[in-house]
Copies of this chain bind each other. A is one copy, B any other.
Amino acid sequence: MLLTDQLGRTEAVADGIRQRIAARVLAPGARIPSVRAQAEAMGVSKSTVVEAYERLAAEGAIVSRPGSGFYVAGKTRPLCLKAMGPELDRAVDPLWLARQSALAGSTMMMPGGGNLPEAWLPDDAVRRGLRAVARAETAIVTRYDQPQGFPPLRALIARRGAEKGVVASPDQIVLVDSATQALDLIARFLLQPGDTVLVDDPCYFNFVALLRAQRATVIGVPMTTEGPDLTALAALLAKHRPRFYLTNSALQNPTGTSLLPATAHRILRLCEAHETLVVEDEIFGDLEPDAAPRLAGFDGFERVIQIGGFSKTLTAAARCGWIALRPDWVEPLVDLKLALSLGNGHVCAALAHGLLTDGSYRRTLAETRRRLAGAMAQVARDLSECGLRIWAEPRGGYFLWMRLTDGRDAADVARRALTRNMLLAPGVVFSPSGGWQDFLRFNVGHCADPQVMKSLRAVLG
């Protein structure tokens, strides 16, 4: 049995503090436990703690403020997502890609973009919808929406879910301002700082940024052409005991894959065994030609929370998202939503409701699916001719996940494309592990433009 001497104890105290600073349990500017409290907590004398603190102060790790105590050195800096990842150039910086994808009226060609081209979105229907909202009752144009969100839209969302085998009552639906805000609210509802979350690898890059902002540890589950690698999922669940697993069951971003029933069943079994929740992002679900199984449908909202929205399919200018979850979590979630935002947009909820009931949404979905089906086949052929290989045939949607077969690094290709005013989305951007370096995600909506494909050929050729 090891007997520590005075020197050893001093170093042990100092090292404990160093570790807590390194882990940011003690952040810059935070107060260090008082000498007395630390001495009691570690069962050492006060003089040992004083010596340890003096050592840390001499190192510059902490500073003494007379009459007030010791503090972690350094000015607290604001949260900088950029500083939380490696230093990146524009071609592989997810934050920069997000900005570019959001830029309206950009003159940049967007084969790597995350949204449909402006011309594909139903602007006439949205204009009609806005005029209809302008005629709505006064509360809809002047007042906060109801705490849980516009009841008629919640009823519609519940009904649409049932068509995909997902049974929730309107009382289980909470409206929010977007699917992204839905995930953010869920993350804040469920996560403690330092919790682990599993995502797919590759996955939508913003998932990682959003979860990191919530100070979660984000770990990727390798994707296969048939969905997440179940052996890897089982091992990661056992090792990390994650709070939840975040996935797209339908038309996964960026791979375009959808879950098979047996895979859905096994994911739920595994998550149940490890007491891990599932957050199922439905954002592309309405673009499926016919519905793949949903985890929420199999599970009945015991373990699964579903999120979705209309920014990808209807309009991103008047946003509206939703969360479906177990009944006993609705009230505390709505409390949190009110505290953090006072509520979702009433006008946007009424607009979405109008477009979902007047037939506009069904028409635009049918038209978009038809255009995408044609474009998907053509773009896949065109890209194959450029020497790229398709990873898995998507059932629908607008993403193609393609592999460069000539050993080139996709980030290099994206850098070259940028010099030609073209945004590409290299695989590494979507990978929490920094993998998939020979992959690119293509948006077939943008690639279907012959001018864009011509430029793309030049870049890829």
Contacts and interface: CB of A to CB of B under 8 A. Distances in A.
Interface residues of A, number: 109
A209 B336 CA distance: 8
Given A4-B44, A123-B141, A335 B194 contact: no
For the residues of A in contact with B, the DSSP-based class is helix
A454 interface: no
Interface in A10-50: 11-12, 15-16, 19, 24-25, 27, 29-31, 40-45, 47-48
A68 to B, nearest CB: 7
How many chain copies?
2
Contact of A141 (B127, B146, B243, B341): B127
A19 B44 contact: no
Given A78-B190, A145-B317, A347-B318, A134 B130 contact: yes
A332 interface: yes
A308 to B, nearest CB: 14
A122 B332 CA distance: 33
Nearest to A180: B342
A43 B12 contact: yes
Contact of A275 (B75, B105, B143): B75
Contact of A140 (B76, B188, B317): B317
B340 A317 contact: no
A457 interface: no
A381 interface: no
A3 to B, nearest CB: 9
A192 to B, nearest CB: 4
A326 to B, nearest CB: 10
A146 B213 contact: no
A44 B3 CA distance: 7
Interface string A68-84: 10010001101111100
Contacts of A78: 189-190, 329, 332-333
A6 B1 contact: yes
A48 B6 CA distance: 17
A348 interface: yes
A219 to B, nearest CB: 14
Contacts of A79: 188-190, 332, 336
Contacts of A318: 141, 345-348
Given A102-B338, A130-B131, A141-B318, 12 more contacts: A42-B42, A99-B338, A101-B144, A102-B145, A102-B146, A142-B317, A143-B316, A143-B317, A180-B341, A206-B339, A206-B342, A210-B340
28 contacts: A8-B43, A12-B43, A15-B40, A16-B41, A24-B192, A27-B195, A68-B239, A78-B332, A78-B333, A79-B190, A81-B335, A82-B332, A98-B338, A102-B342, A104-B346, A105-B139, A118-B139, A126-B141, A130-B131, A131-B131, A131-B134, A139-B317, A142-B316, A143-B316, A144-B316, A178-B341, A316-B342, A347-B348
